[in-house]
Amino acid sequence: MIVDLRTYTMIPGRLNAWLKLYETDGYPIHVRHLGEPLGIFTTDVGALNQVVLMWRYESQSDREKRRAALEVDPDWVSYRKKSAEAGNVQHQENKIIKSTSFSPK
């Protein structure tokens, strides 16, 4: 198993706008292609104005297949355009993390 750990840093004051847009427009498309996430969180202490999303995949090839299908979905293309026009995101960081042999999941 691998986890795609995505951290989005919002422009200060824009976090709630991003959350609202993603919940109504982006999240349903993500679930359709990627399945239910392990979690979607906002930061409370430390670096603020961040959303952290965690997506589980069986392998890197599973991730690539699902993300490729997502990227050509017209609904996703439309959402990405709308999100870019909203101008909420300041920075994005993606990491692929792998579980250890003794990890519970």
The average pLDDT across 28-47 equals 97
* Alpha carbons 10 and 90: distance in angstroms, whole number: 5
The domain spans of the chain are 2-97
Q: Does domain 2-97 have CATH number 3.30.70.100?
A: yes
* Alpha carbons 4 and 66: distance in angstroms, whole number: 12
pTM of the complete model: 0.91
- Side by side, the strands of the sheet bearing 39-42 are 39-42, 50-57, 2-10, 89-98
What digits encode the pLDDT tens for the residues 58-104?
999 999 999 999 999 999 999 999 999 999 999 999 999 998 989 88
